[in-house]
């Protein structure tokens, strides 16, 4: 992993709070995926004849499954794989677009973002993928605004900002993160912003944790990928449970922050939070259960 991502970073406090953004701080997952990202996917990849099944696959993968919260480049592969297996899509004899060059890039590239993708647009598949990613950003910029943070977020950040360095760790593009956090006057609490353009969540935490004791680093997120990023780096994890975000933030503000600051978070308390989190996310699509 990269340890020199942020060579000029210096800690101010002895603790660090890493925090995701979409679906964790802001209730933006539903509007972004249903109103922006899925329509862009149907449009750019020419999936209009099977749009119903695309929506079901997209929403399951991106919102209601254990794959929730992965980067868009991973998610498009998962969605296409779900569609390829879907019996109704087979019945229509619909031929899915070729995305194998994109799959190879996702599986081998050290960094997944638009800048890296733009270097490969001599390939028509990669050119189409870049157009898709740009359209997703454009639709989100037009549609997503005026969405406040979940109740309890501001109070938690305000409280912890005097005792912990707060770092945004997200797979969202930097422009969107800056716009959304500044719109609601939250950037004043933030020590560093780590975005899609920087590195993966695992790599960002890995590069920053060297400034702290591991028991003094806590990742807050709403997806299994956030938990994986924390556990890979041997740091603490607090889950924001999908569908129970307000209750999760209430517990964080009233219980978990005290435990983090007093060194009593790790152990049974953390594991209880993770068990409740895992119970929220299925690993089998609902259309399989329906049969």
| Two structure tokens written together for 33 | 């995926």
Per-residue pLDDT, averaged over 60-81, amounts to: 94
Find all residues with CB under 8 Å of 104, minimum gap 6, and list them.
Answer: none
| pLDDT in the model for residue 288 | 86
CA distance 30 to 174: 20
Please determine, for residue 289, whether its predicted confidence score (pLDDT) is greater than 90: no
Instruction: Supply the DSSP symbol for 186.
Output: -
Work out the mean pLDDT of the chain and round it to a whole number: 95
Domain ranges across the chain: 15-27+149-278, 29-143
Cα–Cα distances in Å, from 132 out to 46, 93, 121, 199?
11, 24, 12, 21
Identify the CATH homologous superfamily for domain 15-27+149-278. Answer: HAD superfamily/HAD-like (3.40.50.1000)
Find all residues with CB under 8 Å of 268, minimum gap 6, and list them.
Answer: none
> Contact 74/99 with Cβ under 8 angstroms?
no
CA distance 181 to 173: 13
Per-residue pLDDT, averaged over 65-85, amounts to: 94
- DSSP string covering 103-166: HHHHHH-S--SHHHHGGGTTSHHHHHHHHHHHHHHHHHHHH--S-PBPTTHHHHHHHHTTTEEE
Please determine, for residue 1, whether its predicted confidence score (pLDDT) is greater than 70: no
Please determine, for residue 3, whether its predicted confidence score (pLDDT) is greater than 60: no
Find all residues with CB under 8 Å of 212, minimum gap 6, and list them.
Answer: 11, 14, 15, 16
CA distance 145 to 176: 10
Please determine, for residue 283, whether its predicted confidence score (pLDDT) is greater than 90: no
CA distance 168 to 73: 20
Structure pTM? Answer: 0.86
Please determine, for residue 2, whether its predicted confidence score (pLDDT) is greater than 90: no
pLDDT tens for each residue of 145-155: 999 999 999 99
| Two structure tokens written together for 55 | 């929506």
Poorest-confidence range of 23-37, 166-180, 251-265, 277-291?
277-291
Burial 111-141 (b: 16+ CB within 10 A, else e): ebbbeebeebeeeebbebbbebbebbbebbe
Strands 236-239 and 190-194: unpaired
The rounded Cα 234 to chain-centroid distance in angstroms is: 19
Measured between its terminal Cα atoms, the distance across the chain in Å is 43
Query: Which of 197, 172, 194 lies closest to 36 in space, CA to CA?
Result: 172
Cα–Cα distances in Å, from 262 out to 16, 124, 189, 258?
14, 55, 21, 6
């Amino acid at each position: 992993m990269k340890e020199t991502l942020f060579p000029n970073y210096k800690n101010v406090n002895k603790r660090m709070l890493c925090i995701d953004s979409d679906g964790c701080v802001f209730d933006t997952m539903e509007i972004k995926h249903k109103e922006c990202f899925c329509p862009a996917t149907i449009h750019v990849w020419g999936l209009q004849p099977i749009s119903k099944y695309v929506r079901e696959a997209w929403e399951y993968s991106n919102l209601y499954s254990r794959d929730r919260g992965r980067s868009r480049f991973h998610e498009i592969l998962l969605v296409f794989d779900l569609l390829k297996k879907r019996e109704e899509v087979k019945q229509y004899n619909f031929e899915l677009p070729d995305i194998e060059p994109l799959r190879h890039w996702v599986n081998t590239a050290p960094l997944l973002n638009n800048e890296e993708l733009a270097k490969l647009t001599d390939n028509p598949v990669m050119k189409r993928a870049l157009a898709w990613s740009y359209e997703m950003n454009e639709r989100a910029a037009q549609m997503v605004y005026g969405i406040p943070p979940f109740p309890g977020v501001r109070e938690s950040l305000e409280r912890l900002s005097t005792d912990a360095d707060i770092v945004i760790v997200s797979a969202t593009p930097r422009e969107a993160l800056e716009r959304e956090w500044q719109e609601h006057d939250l950037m004043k609490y933030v020590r560093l912003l780590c975005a899609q353009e920087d590195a993966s969540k695992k790599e960002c935490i890995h590069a920053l944790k060297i400034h702290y004791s591991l028991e003094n680093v806590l990742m807050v997120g709403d997806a299994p990928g956030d938990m994986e990023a924390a556990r890979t780096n041997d740091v603490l994890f607090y889950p924001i449970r999908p569908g129970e975000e307000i209750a999760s933030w209430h517990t964080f503000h009233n219980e978990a922050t005290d435990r983090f600051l007093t060194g009593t978070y790790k152990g049974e308390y953390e594991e209880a939070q993770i068990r409740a989190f895992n119970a929220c996310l299925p690993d089998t699509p609902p259309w399989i259960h329906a049969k």
